Amino acid sequence: MKKKKNVWLAAILNLLLPGLGYIYTGRRVVFGAGIILLSIFYVSATLDADMTTIDWLVGIPLSLLFAYDGYKTAEEANEKK
């Protein structure tokens, strides 16, 4: 039997870097890696620009949604074991 994943750790990882929580749980790994690569590309493309209001209005709720989904993904992974 595999070790259960910490649901809060998955949520925090997805909050800090969307996609990392998926890789931690071992589920949606390709999706998680894709989200990480897109995030890196976005940040590198906007390094010289100031954060706009739309960045905050979209970024914060999106990060919270990824955190919630990372939590639920870890719960689902634990139930299937």
pTM of the model: 0.81
Domain definitions of the chain by residue range: 7-79
Q: Is the pLDDT confidence value at 17 over 70?
A: yes
With 0-12 / 13-18 / 19 or more C-beta atoms within 10 angstroms meaning exposed / middle / buried, residue 9 is: middle
Tell me which amino acid residue 31 is: F
pLDDT digits (tens, 9 = 90+) for 23-58: 999 999 999 999 999 988 887 877 777 767 777 788
